[in-house]
Amino acid sequence: MGRIATGILIFAAVAGGWLSLREPARAWGEFGHLTVCDLAYRNLTDASRDELKKIFHAGQGGITVQAKDGTELRHYTSFNVGCLEEDERPRKHPADHFVNLDRTTSSIPSASCPVGGSCIFAGIDRDLAILKDRSKSDEDRVFALMAVGHWIGDIHQPLHISFADDKGGNAIKAKVPGGCGTSSYRPGNLHAVWDGCLLEAGLFQKVRNRADFKASWGRRTITYRAVDTLLANTSLIDEQQMVGTDPAIWANESFEITLRPEVQYCVKVGASCNYSDSQVTLGENDEERTVVADQAYRMAFAPIAEDRVRNAGFRLAHILNIALDPSYQGPVKDSLQP
């Protein structure tokens, strides 16, 4: 079995410029997703990395594919920046970014979507199946690979396992006195606090505080240095008890955080977690309430956001190794060398 790959993926170039989000991201945000996918890449086996290179036509300069909206051709050489593809508008699978639950739900018994809808679980199942199927075209497998990277990031963001009426906290205003570390990120709602502010104030601020931090770094370099931080004292081998392959477990971890009273996402009333003290749900014309994510809030939850990103990266590596490396038996110390 091949050892874990340690190289860093080259950014995925897109015809006409860099792949960018045309609207604000609604997941971990750009930097969070890049961190998840680079952490995963650094923990792929050699065989997984070779299969990745094959489907990306690495020896031929990359792969050119039709964008999902059919309006342009895009050129990819790797998948890490491609993990942002599912946040491009219009979204190809908008329902697959969330698991929208009933407000009386206390836990998620299985990795199945609520009746009558799609959700993150459906996205993971569909795109993992495409990625594993070597009879599919390289183009189909490339898009599936990038989508899987995005879905695993999303399922670890707590407010993506939430309630539809407030759009996972997008309809809860937020005030952030003091800002998100020294970054210029300014969230306007609670979902955005969890998307980016907690990582900016925590994991990414650690990078900015390093003695070797350079203001001249490229805009996304901070995500690679963040992965260095996450890998400083651990690897996939050390995380073998955590990785697993059950998305329901990952979703329940996120949902448990979402429901914590101190997160201030919902208000527990009996068996229901309501929108506010006076509203079970948020109506179309109702006034949105406001949460103050002060320094104490950020200090309490920044480590949790960092841990969710870390877990997402290792779990993504594990399921990609299963999908791409036929000889992979899991991160076992005596068969997979660091």
Q: What is the pLDDT of residue 71?
A: 64
- Kindly state whether residue 7 falls inside one of the protein's structural domains: no
Q: What is the pLDDT of residue 9?
A: 44
For 184-195, how does the pLDDT look when each residue is reduced to its tens digit (9 = 90+)?
999 999 999 999
Q: What is the pLDDT of residue 10?
A: 36
Q: What is the pLDDT of residue 67?
A: 66
Of 264, 5, 282, 327, give the one whose Cα is nearest residue 163: 282
Residue 73: strand, helix, or coil: strand
Which residue in the block uniquely carries the two structure tokens 């997703």?
33
Tell me the residue range of the domain where 233 lies: 13-324
- Kindly state whether residue 97 falls inside one of the protein's structural domains: yes
Q: What is the DSSP letter of 185?
A: -
Instruction: Check residues 90 and 114 and name the one with the higher pLDDT.
Output: 114
For 248-302, how does the pLDDT look when each residue is reduced to its tens digit (9 = 90+)?
999 999 999 999 999 999 999 999 999 999 999 999 999 999 999 999 999 999 9
Q: What is the pLDDT of residue 68?
A: 61
CA atoms within 13 A on the CB side of 199: 29
Residue 69: strand, helix, or coil: coil
Give the pLDDT mean for 305-333.
Answer: 92
Tokens of 74: 């895009």
Q: What is the pLDDT of residue 92?
A: 84
Q: What is the pLDDT of residue 3?
A: 41
At 288, which amino acid appears? E
- Kindly state whether residue 8 falls inside one of the protein's structural domains: no
- Kindly state whether residue 329 falls inside one of the protein's structural domains: no
Q: Would you say residue 14 has pLDDT above 50?
A: no
- Kindly state whether residue 53 falls inside one of the protein's structural domains: yes
> What is the distance between the alpha carbons of residues 331 and 234, in angstroms, rounded to a whole number?
12
Q: How far apart are the first and last CA of the chain?
A: 12
In order of 31, 39, 59, 130, the CA distances from 9 in angstroms are 15, 10, 14, 22
Extended beta strands in 50-208, E state? 63-66, 73-76, 99-100, 161-162, 173-175
- Kindly state whether residue 284 falls inside one of the protein's structural domains: yes
Residue 166: strand, helix, or coil: coil
Neighbours of 57 (CB within 10 A): 16
> What is the distance between the alpha carbons of residues 34 and 81, in angstroms, rounded to a whole number?
6
- Kindly state whether residue 5 falls inside one of the protein's structural domains: no
For 24-42, how does the pLDDT look when each residue is reduced to its tens digit (9 = 90+)?
444 689 999 999 999 999 9
Q: Would you say residue 101 has pLDDT above 90?
A: yes
Q: Would you say residue 338 has pLDDT above 60?
A: no
Q: Would you say residue 130 has pLDDT above 50?
A: yes
CATH number at residue 124: 1.10.575.10
**H/E segment holding residue 319:** helix 295-324
- pTM across the whole model: 0.89
Q: What is the pLDDT of residue 100?
A: 96
CA atoms within 13 A on the CB side of 52: 27
For 231-252, how does the pLDDT look when each residue is reduced to its tens digit (9 = 90+)?
998 888 888 889 999 999 999 9
- Kindly state whether residue 338 falls inside one of the protein's structural domains: no
Length of the chain: 338
Q: What is the pLDDT of residue 272?
A: 98
- Cβ contacts of 275-281, under 8 Å, gap ≥ 24: 275/163, 275/165, 275/166, 280/103, 281/103, 281/163, 281/165, 281/166
Q: How many folded domains does the chain comprise?
A: 1
- Name the band, by pLDDT with cuts 50, 70 and 90, for residue 89: confident
Contact (CB, 8 A) for 8 and 37: no
